[in-house]
Amino acid sequence: MIIAQISDTHITLDTPDAEQRARDFALTIADINALDPGPDVIVHTGDITHNGRQDEYAQAVATLAQARAPAYVLAGNRDNRANLREAFSGFGYLALDSDFVAYAINDYPVRLIALDTLSSASNRGDFCRERVRHLIDLMGVETDKPIAVFTHHPPFEVTVGPDRLHFESQNVMSGLRRALQHSGRVVAVFSGHVHRAAAGDVAGIPATVMPSIATTLRKGEYPADMRKRPVYHIHRFDPAWGFTTETRIVAARRDVLPRENGAPAREPRTPDYSCSQF
CA atoms of 226 and 249, how far apart (whole Å): 8
| Position with the least CB separation from Fe ion | 47
Residue type, 234: I
Q: Minimum CB separation from Fe ion for residue 195, in Å? A: 6
Stretch that binds Fe ion, among 4-12, 17-25, 113-121, 240-248 (CB under 5 A): 4-12
Residue type, 264: P
Q: Minimum CB separation from Fe ion for residue 194, in Å? A: 8
Q: Which of 6, 8, 74, 149 binds Fe ion (CB under 5 A)?
A: 8
By beta-carbon proximity to Fe ion, the closer residue of 75 and 112 is: 75
- Considering only residues 28 through 57, tell me which ones interact with Fe ion, judged by CB under 5 A: 47
Look at phi and psi of residue 199 and say left if phi exceeds 0, alpha if psi is from -120 to 50, else beta: beta
Q: Minimum CB separation from Fe ion for residue 51, in Å? A: 12
The secondary structure element, H or E, covering residue 232 is strand 231-238
Contact 128, 120 (CB under 8 A): no
The site map against Fe ion for 188-207 (x = CB under 5 A) is --------------------
By beta-carbon proximity to Fe ion, the closer residue of 87 and 110 is: 87
Reading across the β-sheet that carries 231-238, which strands appear in turn?
Answer: 71-73, 41-44, 2-6, 231-238, 242-249
For the chain, state the CA radius of gyration: 18
Residue 204's CB is within 10 A of a number of other CB atoms, namely: 7
Contact 234, 38 (CB under 8 A): no
What's the first-to-final CA gap in the chain, in angstroms? Answer: 30
CA atoms of 140 and 119, how far apart (whole Å): 25
- Considering only residues 9 through 28, tell me which ones interact with Fe ion, judged by CB under 5 A: none
By beta-carbon proximity to Fe ion, the closer residue of 19 and 79 is: 79
- Considering only residues 259 through 278, tell me which ones interact with Fe ion, judged by CB under 5 A: 278
Beta bridge partners of 211: 195
Q: Minimum CB separation from Fe ion for residue 193, in Å? A: 6
By beta-carbon proximity to Fe ion, the closer residue of 156 and 278 is: 278
Contact 196, 209 (CB under 8 A): yes
Contacts with Fe ion by CB under 5 A: the residue count is 3
By beta-carbon proximity to Fe ion, the closer residue of 47 and 56 is: 47
Q: Minimum CB separation from Fe ion for residue 214, in Å? A: 8
Residue type, 166: H
Q: Minimum CB separation from Fe ion for residue 8, in Å? A: 4
Q: Minimum CB separation from Fe ion for residue 208, in Å? A: 16
By beta-carbon proximity to Fe ion, the closer residue of 18 and 179 is: 18
- Considering only residues 92 through 131, tell me which ones interact with Fe ion, judged by CB under 5 A: none
Helices and strands in the chain, H and E counts: 5, 11
Residues in the site for Fe ion, rule: CB under 5 A? 8, 47, 278
